[in-house]
Every structure is written in structure tokens, then in C-alpha cells.
Structure 1
Amino acid sequence: MLALGAVAALSLPPLCFLPVLPVAMGLLYRLSCEASSHRQAAWWGFLFGMGFHTAGLYWLTNAVLTRVQDFWWVLPFASSGVALLIAPLVMIPAVLCRLVPAGWPRILLFAGSWTLADMARVFYFSGFPWNPLGSALELYGRVGDWLIQPASLIGVDGLTLMLVLASLMLWQGRKAAIGVAVCALCWCGWGMWRAGHADFVSGQVNPAVVIVQGNVTETEVLERDGAVAQFNSYLDLTAAGVKQARMIVPDRHAVVVWPESAFPGLLDEDDWARRDIALAAAGAPVLLGSDRRAQGKGRWYNSLMALAPDGHIEAIYDKSRLVPFGEYDPWIVPFHLLPAEVVPGPGLKTWNLPQIGRVGPMVCYEIVFSGSVVAPGQRPNWLLTISNDAWYGNSAGPRQHLATGRMRAVEEGLPVVFANNRGVSAIYDGRGREVGRTGWGKEEVLVRPLPGPEKPTMFAMMGHRLVPGLLSLLLAGLAFGAGRKGGRNQRR
């Protein structure tokens, strides 16, 4: 069962090998139904979850290898330890489905409870909703663009619900399989139509974005040995990028974006550095990441700052969703694992700044949270996330992170700018179509005019996980209702 879960992880980005899902989910469902007891069904679910999440998060070991001299003892538990915390959620559908009669009630309950359990991951520590099954539809290119368009209605959790449901229905006879095939064609057809159109908000024009990717390794970030050379490299790339933007998009303001960890110091305390950045940007505002001191020894903010053309700081956003085990020690750790503590900020914001417009700033991990990337009542014209995935090397990790930005663009109907230290950096329009990207491990600049915002999607208007949650509860209710009706008929 561990191997079966690991095989199912092949469906996740960047491979998105969808054929493994019906096989893996179908076998898990069958073994859960045929288990001799609820305890055995729960055990099958747990083992499947361990295999799925350990394989899907294998790249976490790369972060430990970056500081292996300090955390060598964590190496065997990096991915499997996180999997151990979230694998029990797979036990829920494996056990619950046995409470209703076999057939469609059991399938509905399995799919609905799988989705609800998966959504519950936002309540783990600061939340860990990484790799929902719905992300398996994010194939690279146009086909992926078509497949993920329904996220504008039901979000990525709704895609998870439909994928699990379809995977199980394929094994319910010829008629059910034909029904799944017909629904899949309609799904693709509607997605193709929607991906080929746009519904822009009139009168809203976004700037031209200059993403500066410095390709600084995490070892260099931590040791600071080449800090001056790195800073000068970013300045040179910035100057070249702004010049290019003004040549190819002369009718729009240029906005420069540096990724997380790009500045090797404390920007709010370094007047000279801010002047140098402003000089390189030649009148363009710069959005960049920097640490910032908080009150108390060894306490920091992980911040995104907006520099005005004259070099003064116009706005600061402090990261509010922190990475458990990476930026703070969860309560289950009885000792201090991390040498310094990151303090969470007050929450999401929307900036409205000259030459930049209305932007929703985020730092790294925060883009992962479906339905929680826009400040309530403050819809921006574009979303920005800066990240430093150099920790995870040239692995699936940076690609999975990037996929979350693509999905948020479709859900919210907003263009997304994703700036990463070593890559992959990318820009998506409000329908998740790629506007441009960089390669991983390359020092380069990406210059593109940013598409305008689209009108709010149904998912954006309905609120935080409301649509997929209600759908899942509805299916579970139908399943239990059918079970009670079947029980009454048997008694009669």
C-alpha cells in the first residue's frame, strides 16, 4: 500500500501523469471496502497516505542537505515526518465509506470525505495544504490550461473532488465509464472555450514587470561570503531589465521585482543600498524581499518592501503564514529546532502605489492557500509572490510551488507574478495562461507587460472554500441519505 500511494504521487506536478490515479484510487477504495474491519481499512488508508505524501514531498530532504552539518539527524524524517502528520487524514474516507451501502453511495461518501479531510490540512499548525489532488490537472501547456478552468467555479479542492469521483466511477461498469468520458469531454470543451477568452475589468491597466532572477545558491545566501558580488549582480540585471522594458513596452510603467532573500542584509537599515537600487532602477519602483528586525533577541520579520523611485520605502508587508519547522517551531517540538524565530505579520494587504497600482503582496508559502490570497474587501489588480526555493534544488518542489500560483490565478481571475531566487519564475494571466517564465538555475531577467485583471470569478465571490466544501458535504449527505433509505427497505 505504501508503494501504491507513492505511485499515485506521479500524478502531481510537474509530471501530472493522470493515468495512475484511477488505478491507485480504485485499489485503495476496493481494499478499504473489502477490509475485514474498520481498523484494517484505516491502516490501508494510513499506509496509502504515507506513500503518497512521502513521495510527493521527497524534495524536503534537499533543504536539510543545505545545512546537513547542523541537521543531519533530521535527514531520514524530512519528508516522511511531514507525511506522518498528514497521512492519517486518508484514514477518514477509507473508514467512513464503509458506513453506507456499496455502490454509488459509498463512492460519493469516499470522494466527499477525501476532499473535506484534504481541506482540513489548513488547520495543521499554520496550515499545510500542499499537493491537493486537484493540482494533478495542471499539465504544462494548453491542455493544462483547459483542464484547470473549472477552478474558477469550484477551486482546486473542487477539482480534487471531481478527480476522486471520476477515478472511482471508471470502475463501476461500462455505462459509468462512458459517463465519465462524456463529462471529461464537456469539461475540456468548456475549459478550451474559457481559456480562449478574457473578461477584463475595463479601465484597469497593469504595469510592465521586470523579474530579476539572480540564481544565488542557498549556501551563498546563508554564508554571505559573496554578498557584495551578489548585490552588484542584481543591480546590473535590474538596470538591463528596466532598459529592456522601456524599449519593448514604452507605454507602461516598469516595476522591478526581486525575489525573497535577494538582498543580503537589512534593507530598512541600509540607506546606501536603497540609493544604489534606486539608481539601477532609473526611476522604476522596486519590490523586493528583505529580513527586518522585530522586538526581542533573535526575532525577525520576513518582509516584502516597496521602494519608491527615490529609494525610500513606500510600503512593507510582513509574511503572515509561516512555514512550520522552517520558520517557527510547532508546539509538538519540545525543544528549539531553529536558531532564530520569524514573527508573523498581521495578515494580507492590498497596496495601491504610484506606477505599481493595486497589488496583493505575498511571500513564498502564502500563495499555497486556496481562497486566502486576497485581503477581504480589497481586491487588487494583480498578485505578487516572492520566493526562495533554492532550498529544494532542481526538484519537483519549485515546480509544485509554481503550480500553486497558476491555480490561484484561475481561482481569483487575477494575473500572478511569481519571482523565485533560482527559478522557476513566471507570470500568469487571470486564466492561468503562461505569459512568460525563466529556467531553473539561470541568471536572467524576465520582462513582460502584465495582463489586466479579470472580473471576479464565482470562486472569488463565494468566499473561502465555500463552494468545494458545500459540494463535498452534499455528496456525503446524499450517501448517508441513501444508506438510511436502504436500511429501511431491508427492514420492510
Structure 2
Amino acid sequence: MSITDTLTTPAPLGRLSVRLAGLAGWRRLAVAALFGGLATLALPPADAVPVLLVAFPGLLWLLDGARTGRQAFAVGWFFGFAHHLLGLYWISAALFTDIGRFWWALPLSAAGLPILMAMFSGFTTLLVWKLRATGLARVFLFAASWALFEWLRGHIFTGFPWNLIGYGWTGFLPVLQSVSLFGIYGLSLLTALVAALPAVLGGSAPSSPADRRRGWGAVAAGLALFAALGAWGGMRLAGASDETVPGVRLRLVQPAIDQRLKWAPGERVRNVQQQMDLSAAEPASPSAGPPTHVIWAETAVPLFIEQDARVRQALGSVTPPGGLLITGAPRAAVDAEGEQRYYNSMVAVDGSGAIAGSFDKFHLVPFGEYMPLRRWLPVGAIAGNGAEFSAGPGPVTLDLKGLPPVSPLICYEVIFPNAVIDRDHRPQWLLNLTNDAWYGNTAGPHQHFAIAQTRAVEEGLPLVRVANTGISGVVDAHGRIAAMLALGHRGVVDTALPKALPMPTLYGWMGDGVFGVLLLICFAVGLSARQRR
């Protein structure tokens, strides 16, 4: 081959990008969906982040073939639809606990949510297409747009920041340490940036060897960035303390009660008794000492504790001497207007059966705990057993007897970055009560645990998670799992409480501010490079 042939023949990735850009109609959309589905493997529990080095460049090469804004939006929408269809399939499992009653919601949960979530990736590709950038400029603008719309997805319409692309790093703790600096949105931004870099190796125009070297140099620089983050994170982990809070021994109770039996009238008392038996069992390691505090999961007591002294006394009978039993339970109260309100709550009971503290969930699940479209859907909330819950104030820091100040979080409240603690009264640990029995043996509980684990690293606070069934455990302030009870297992975990970092992390101090600066820099670099071209 002559030098002229070398300079005028696209490299293999160039030929692939040209073929993808040349696709039209349903073929383009089908391949976009294929790339979106592939990107799902980057997330927990698979954690195969390298697949993004294929999925994101493929998405950008497909975008090269878009001739109208509508086509550009469609490429991103089909990518996002397949991505969320596979990533959120487990939500539909909740309906099968009472499919005869909620059959009508099955298509809404299976396809409706992915349809809505795909709008954000559709607007991402539309924005990138409208900016008309190429090369590295387009990569920077794509990463910034992807991260911007992830942030918007996590905030508008009450927010749903599930499966942000940065969560793929929960399987690699050294890199995950970087969320202590710029949070999960910042990690998503850098992940999208580096994963999209191979797109510069494609294009319809022939490239010279020098252009190809620069392209590979950009890819190498991106990979080096994550190698540096991993090295920094490794050093941070190497210097991490294993200190625990003196005088505190927690017992986490995971009863693994089938969701279909949890609220059954003939099973409620039996379910509570089962958890009492687990709470009173002898420690597996007597040398470690007996538990000082017992913790049950979300709505572990399906009864109104505050209104039933007998239930409180029964709970008090298995409360450690001088300690507390902390449990999830519904709560009923009459508001100032005389209207009955129901709350998804956490209640702490002492040995005498007295209530020592309580907390009401403040970030409710749409459709699960309240119906946002009641005018058109005259049915009760799914998780509320027909009733609707009201939101309490939060986040809050509770002072409970014998424990450091704690920030309680019920169920998916833990998925919201920068919204899990009271900044004016910093807690010393996070307590997440949840019930993942709704979702069976699916990816959902694994994703939920990984997301909760990330909050611990962001805030520099240990996290205790207690689930009706999987995954219960303790995560220290660096995201290291100190104790765990696997999905579907019945039993208890007796564990110490790790100490919080003495000072807030950079993210704990500035919240999403650092991410905002990175986002502006990324947009600025992309727009500046675009203008120079």
C-alpha cells in the first residue's frame, strides 16, 4: 500500500463509524437500542464499566447520521429506552404481589417509566446535535450534556436519580472514593467523558497517522485520568481507619418475610413475633458482647405502635437493657384541620415500651406511597395498601439514647445525592430502613445497596442498612462493607458501628457545587474547541 493509500483509507474504527452513521430508519434506532442495552451492563450488579467504551462512541457515531433534530432526539431516546427498560425491569416485580389488583399498572411500570426516562437521553443527543461539534469538542459537549440531564432527572418531578452511569464504579472502591470530592454526578460526568473518547477515532473523513496518534493519545489520557483517580482512592483506602463507636453493638434483623404475607391480617402478629425471636437470640459470637440496640426494617411492625401499648410493651421485652429497638412502622395522626394522616415512619422504643424518638419519611415514592395523578387514576397507592402516605419534614438528625446523632432514611430516600443529611446538624451515621421484598431476586436490591453505599462515601459517614429481605449490612465511611446479610437470607447481623470521618468530605461541605464547576468547565472546553474548528 502506498503512502497516498494510507492517508486516504479510513482506519477500522473510521470504517465502523461510517457504517453506523449511514444507518437510517428503523436500523439506526434498533442499533441505538442495542447500544443502550449494552450500557446497562456497566451498572450494578454487573459493574462492567468498560462496555461504555463501545456504547457511548457507538451512540455518537449513530448521531452523525441524523439530519434533523427529530432524528437526533430519536437516537438518544431509543438508546435510553432500552437502557432503562433493562435497568429498571425489576420495578414491575412489585405488582405481582397483588397482580389481580394492579394488573393495569404493569405496562405503565414496565414501559411507562423507561419511556419517560428516555426523554433525558433524547434531549442529550438533541443538544449535542444542535451544537454541531466534532472531534474532542463533541466528546466534551456530550459528556457535559449527559451529566446535565442526569442531574435534571434526579431533580425534576420529585426526581429519580436511579442508575446514574457513575454507579458502575461501586464494584471498584478506589475509583468510587472520588465521589467524596465531586459526588456521583461528577463521577458520571468523567465516566461519560472518558467512555466517549474513542468516538474521536472515527469519522467519515480520512485521517492521517498524526490525527490517529492524537486520537489514541486522547483515549490514553482519559484512561490515565481514571488510573490516577484509582491510585488516589487506593491511597485513601490504605489510610482509612477501622475505628468503631465504643459501647455500641447493633443487631440488624432481616426476617425475609414474603411481601404477600407481610400485610396479611392473619400473619401480621406472627411476623412481629418472628422478628422478636430473632432479636432475642443469643449472639453468634458471645465474646463480642450482647447487642445494645436492635434495628428492624421498614414497616417491620405493620401495626400502629403509638396507639397500641401492648405492642410497645412486647417490643420493649426484646429491647436490650438500657438500649433501644428501632423499627419501621406506619404512623397515624390527625392534622390541624382534623384530617387523618398516615406516615411511613421509624419509631424507637425503649425497654419500658415508651417511644424514645420517631421520624416520618419525607421523600415519598410516586404511585407507590401516593398517587400524583389521582384525578385520572382513582385508585390507592400500591405500597400503602390502598391508603396514601403523607410526607414528613426532612432530612433530620435524631439524637437517640446510647447512639451518635443519626440521619434516618426510609427506602429510596437514600438514592438522592446531597439530600440525605441536615447540613446544619451533621449526623455521625446514616440509617436506611427498607423493604426490598417487593422486588424478589432481581437486580433491584443490588442496585439499591450500591446506591446507598455511594452515599456513605460521598458524606464520609458510615451507613447501616436494614432490609426486610436483602441486602442488609453496614458500610463504613469509605464505602467498605463491614457486615452483610445477603438477599433472601433470614437472620441477624451483630456488628459494631464504624466511626464517621472527623470532618466532612469536600462533597459533604460543598454538595453539588464541585460538580457544577466541572460541568461548566466541560461545556466551556467543548464550546471553545468547537469555535476554534
Q: Paired residue for 1:490?
A: none
Once structures 1 and 2 are overlaid, which stretch shifts more, 379-388 or 299-308?
299-308
Q: Paired residue for 2:154?
A: 122
User: Using the alignment, how far apart are the partners of 1:446 and 1:269 within structure 2?
Assistant: 30
* Alignment partner of 1:23 is 2:64: no
Residue aligned with 2:342, SS: strand
Matching residue's letter, 1:342: F
TM-score after normalising by structure 2: 0.86
2:356 corresponds to which of 300, 304, 314:
314
Q: Paired residue for 1:460?
A: 508
1:369 corresponds to which of 408, 416, 423:
416
Task: Assess if the C-alpha contact under 8 Å between 1:285 and 1:356 holds in 2.
Answer: no
1:63-462 matched pairs, under 5 angstroms? 63-98=94-129, 99-139=131-171, 144-172=172-200, 173-198=215-240, 205=246, 207-240=248-281, 243=283, 247-250=286-289, 254-283=292-321, 284-295=323-334, 299-331=341-373, 334-338=376-380, 339-454=386-501, 455-462=503-510
Task: Assess if the C-alpha contact under 8 Å between 1:328 and 1:342 holds in 2.
Answer: yes
Residue aligned with 1:209, SS: strand
Matching residue's letter, 1:188: G
CA offset digits 1:216-272 (Å, max 9, x no partner): 11000132322222111111111126x557x3434x972211001211211111211
Task: Assess if the C-alpha contact under 8 Å between 2:410 and 2:432 holds in 1.
Answer: yes
Once structures 1 and 2 are overlaid, which stretch shifts more, 216-225 or 420-429?
216-225
User: Using the alignment, how far apart are the partners of 2:287 and 2:142 within structure 1?
Assistant: 53
Residue aligned with 1:351, SS: coil
CA offset digits 1:309-359 (Å, max 9, x no partner): 322111111000001111111248622232211100011111112212211
TM-score after normalising by structure 1: 0.93
Matching residue's letter, 1:391: W
Percent sequence identity over aligned pairs: 34
User: Using the alignment, how far apart are the partners of 1:376 and 1:4 within structure 2?
Assistant: 40
How far has the Cα of 1:164 moved from its partner?
A: 0.5
Q: Closer, same or farther in 2 for the Cα pair 1:333/1:433, shift >3 Å?
A: farther
User: Using the alignment, how far apart are the partners of 1:113 and 1:36 within structure 2?
Assistant: 20
User: How many corresponding residue pairs?
Assistant: 477
Once structures 1 and 2 are overlaid, which stretch shifts more, 187-196 or 173-182?
173-182
Question: Any gaps of 5 or more consecutive residues in structure 2?
Answer: 1-31, 201-214, 381-385
CA root-mean-square deviation: 2.0
User: Using the alignment, how far apart are the partners of 1:298 and 1:128 within structure 2?
Assistant: 29
Residue aligned with 2:188, SS: helix
User: Using the alignment, how far apart are the partners of 2:144 and 2:56 within structure 1?
Assistant: 14
Matching residue's letter, 1:345: G
Residue aligned with 1:74, SS: helix
Question: Any gaps of 5 or more consecutive residues in structure 1?
Answer: 487-492
Q: Closer, same or farther in 2 for the Cα pair 1:85/1:299, shift >3 Å?
A: farther
Structure number, greater radius of gyration: 2
Task: Assess if the C-alpha contact under 8 Å between 1:170 and 1:180 holds in 2.
Answer: no
User: Using the alignment, how far apart are the partners of 1:402 and 1:58 within structure 2?
Assistant: 17
